[in-house]
Amino acid sequence: MKKYWFVLMLAAGAVLAQDPPADGAKTDAPAATAKPAAPAPAAKAKPPVKRLPPRVRTGSIVKAEFTTEKPGSEGESAVGKKSSPAWAVLTLKLDPGRAASIFDYVLSKDGTEYPCLDLAEDDGAFSGKLRIYASVESKTCRLVFAIPSAEDEYEIIFKLFAEEGTPAKLNVKPPPPPPPEKKAEEEKKPDGENKDENKSGDGNKGENKEEKPAE
């Protein structure tokens, strides 16, 4: 009996001898599962850059049409009497108090000039009657030119006297888009196909081996 009590006292002393955890000490907690990273916000597309209308001596070219279709005309207009593979119709918004005539502007390409054939007020027809159009307010008129191609780029030049600076360019084509990025890695074949190829290779090797006669 005394021996039994002696064993119990030894066990109790061993338990009391262990140091208790210090105050504020954190016990080991199960590791928290890592949360998936939030997807990066998509980059905002940049708004398209607005181009201002090309400026000329007496106003702004607010619209430029380059076409192979002949513009409508009537009466004694030079448009009806002329044939051309392409045409340019420019809508000119005059500055207040300015005027335009068929002698003011030409289109130029590679040193060759193409004169204005006729002038029309706003959306009116080309009739050959209007030679000078004056605008007290900021109004529009249209000028028509016979040109060799509707796909080329042209400069509009004021002809009454030489101007400083570079002439405005019309029918400017936008630059081509950049080529798509090439994939860095080739598409991998399914595992089944790779295994079949390995097996067929091993089979071919076995067929090439010569069978040794049994001794």
Fold topology of 55-161: Elongation Factor Tu (Ef-tu); domain 3 (2.40.30)
Nearest by Cα to 166 from 175, 158, 174, 178? 158
Residue stretches of the chain with pLDDT short of 50: 184, 195, 200-201, 203, 205-209, 215
Give the pLDDT of residue 152: 94
Give me the residues paired with residue 60 across strands. 55, 93
Give me the residues paired with residue 157 across strands. 106
Give the pLDDT of residue 100: 92
- 85-118: per-residue pLDDT in tens? 999 999 999 998 899 999 999 999 999 999 999 9
Give the pLDDT of residue 149: 96
Give the pLDDT of residue 22: 54
Give the pLDDT of residue 206: 46
Rounded Cα distance, 173 and 133, in Å: 31
Burial 198-213 (b: 16+ CB within 10 A, else e): eeeeeeeeeeeeeeee
Phi, psi values for residue 118, rounded to 5°: -160, 165
